[in-house]
A and B are shown apart, each in its own frame.
Chain A
Amino acid sequence: MQDIEKDTIVKAAGGDMAAFEEIYRKTSAFVYNVARHITASAEDADEVTQDVFIKIYNNLGGFNFLSSLKTWIYRIAVNTALNHKKASGRHLNRRADYDITLKTAAAKEEAKDNLDSQAKKDKLRRLLDALSSEQRACIVLREIEGMDYKEIAAALKIKINTVRTRLKRARERLINLNKKG
């Protein structure tokens, strides 16, 4: 994720849409990618990303600069994605009012993926599906986003040792999965 200047944050907090768009352009790739891997769906990733940036916009005024904006956005993104995953399991019809054109756009985007990368994604999907939500969040941040233990701990608001334990358990589970074939 690229750095964002304090000046940009202040402007965006005051309602400057150009400044807010700059924050979006610099951070949305991370938010979307994490949401996509945690929820395992293009539609859900769309919804989570929208939710996250509306939350960010509405709460920027309360951002205190004690933590970095990145860490703050990491945290909102992971929490929103995890909650969304939980909620979508309970309310299957939640998206009745969801714009149909979005679904079409997401489906087209999915169809564009070629078969080779689809196979890789299927394999990844199987691995991630074997994990608990908490383990999955750690693995996505570590393996896919390349974050170190300290960054993961800050993003998930957990101790570094908890990060370590979750990664260890996740990998042990993946090793077992491989043994079964």
Chain B
Amino acid sequence: MNCGRIEELLKTDYIDNELDEKTRLLIKEHLSACRKCAGLEAQLREKIIAPFKAVEKYHPPEYLWQNIKDGIAPGVEKFPLTEGISIADRILIILRALKPAYLVPVLAAVVVIAVLLSSPLKNNGGLDSYIAEQSEFIIDNNGDAINANGLGTSIEEYFLS
């Protein structure tokens, strides 16, 4: 191997321990006989490699984990049916997850349900099943579009639970 080829390997595979043992020994032999290449090796190790090794690693500050948890919007990706989320919040979560094209039919369903829930008939025994029927009807009519968006039955569960 000539000095040119040795220099290439010094700057890459040799210094980075990527060489097979045979080639590595060949280069070591060359370095013991050639001052120019030995000089390059010393320069690489002292000036180009060492400064990076001398620096301690940075560690992520503890507040990042909290920020990440906060940044993961609840409901959008998993639709967890957690107790204690108000109907209004659930509707907002769903609306935020929807693409604009589905907004109108879903909004219509929301309005119907909101009207029914706030109506004075609220304590009437037959109302629950009536809401269920109406919601299913509205959602079924748009079912294809919603299913295509991968949301499917979670929406019904949100409205009806």
Contact = CB atoms under 8 A, between A and B. Distances in A.
B59 interface: yes
Interface string B139-160: 0000000000000000000000
Interface in A111-153: 117, 120-121, 123-124, 127, 139, 142-144, 148-149
Interface string B21-56: 000000000000000000000011001110111111
A134 to B, nearest CB: 16
A21 B65 contact: yes
A172 B60 contact: no
Interface stretch (B6-14, B111-119, B124-132): B6-14
A29 B57 contact: yes
B69 A17 contact: yes
A32 B61 CA distance: 9
B121 interface: no
A45 B58 contact: yes
Contacts of A178: 43, 47-48
A115 to B, nearest CB: 14
B4 interface: no
Nearest to B62: A105
A28 B57 CA distance: 12
Contact of B60 (A17, A21, A49, A121): A49
Interface in A69-120: 99, 102, 105-106, 109, 117, 120
A143 B53 contact: yes
B11 A124 contact: no
A109 B64 contact: no
A15 B58 contact: no
Contacts of B18: 148-149
A32 B60 contact: yes
A144 B56 CA distance: 9
Contacts of A121: 55
Interface residues of B, number: 34
B68 interface: yes
Nearest to B54: A120
Contact of A24 (B17, B48, B65): B65
Given A123-B51, A144-B55, A178-B47, A167 B63 contact: no
Contact of A139 (B52, B53, B57): B52
Given A164-B12, A174-B48, A24 B68 contact: yes
A144 B65 contact: no
B72 interface: yes
B17 to A, nearest CB: 8
A175 interface: yes
Nearest to B77: A58
B123 interface: no
Contacts of A149: 16, 18
Contacts of A139: 52
Contacts of B78: 14-15
A17 B68 CA distance: 11
The 4 lowest CB-CB distance pairs between A and B, nearest first, are A143-B52, A32-B60, A15-B78, A36-B58
